[in-house]
Chains A and B, each alone.
Chain A
Amino acid sequence: SQTIHQWPATLVQPVGSPLSLECTVEGTSNPNLYWYRQAAGRGLQLLFYSVGIGQISSEVPQNLSASRPQDRQFILSSKKLLLSDSGFYLCAWSVLAGGTDTQYFGPGTRLTVL
């Protein structure tokens, strides 16, 4: 069966520091991968989407970036964190089945920027 891992689970970082969040998927090949942010009272916001190694689509302009160095690895980064980057970051994966692809989510990373 497929599993998705995210780490770290929680992170407290000062403003202006760098960020690296990692997501890995097991038990599937060539998944679509997604990064979402869930900020208090603002619902789920899709940040990045990837259909394959090195292929990244950005949904919103911001100081975050994403990379996919391996088929089942997705990394979210920032060179300098802002206060507004605080939130709950969720990674998700999907594969096409039954006419559409269903997204499955990881456990999330709680980021607090101080």
Chain B
Amino acid sequence: AQSVTQLGSHVSVSEGALVLLRCNYSSSVPPYLFWYVQYPNQGLQLLLKYTSAATLVKGINGFEAEFKKSETSFHLTKPSAHMSDAAEYFCAVKTNSGGSNYKLTFGKGTLLTVNP
């Protein structure tokens, strides 16, 4: 079985500060990992994904994430927060194993607030 834990349901940063959103996963086989962003009353937009190539993955809007197998983590970072980054962020895991290889398991989300 696979699962995702996002530490911190709400993270608040100042504009220009580092953004760090934490994601830990549990999987018995090599995982595929995703970060999505959701703005109010909109669908989820893919930020980036890890598919077992480079462990440091760069995404859209200046975000990046690093896959650390030893820590079972896939934390999302951005060096300098912008007001437009305020949104909810979801980490998700998927594995190609068994009969549920289509299933994407989501974390509960982290709401990012950016203060001026």
Contacts and interface: CB of A to CB of B under 8 A. Distances in A.
Interface in A1-60: 6, 32, 43-44, 46, 49, 51
A44 B106 contact: yes
A49 B104 CA distance: 11
Given A32-B102, A90-B44, A105-B36, 6 more contacts: A44-B44, A46-B104, A49-B103, A103-B46, A105-B44, A108-B42
A100 B103 contact: no
A112 B16 CA distance: 38
A70 to B, nearest CB: 20
A102 B43 CA distance: 15
B108 interface: yes
B18 to A, nearest CB: 26
B102 A104 contact: no
B12 to A, nearest CB: 19
Contact of B51 (A32, A94, A100, A105): A100
Contacts of A88: 41
B45 A44 contact: no
Interface of A: 6, 32, 43-44, 46, 49, 51, 88, 90, 92, 94, 98-108, 110
A102 B45 contact: no
A99 to B, nearest CB: 6
Interface residues of B, number: 22
A100 B92 CA distance: 13
A17 to B, nearest CB: 23
A106 B34 CA distance: 17
Interface string B84-116: 000000100010100000111011110000000
Contact of A107 (B43, B52, B96): B43
Nearest to B50: A100
Given A43-B106, A44-B90, A108-B42, A102 B52 contact: no
A21 B52 CA distance: 36
A104 B46 contact: yes
Contacts of B102: 32, 49, 51, 94, 101
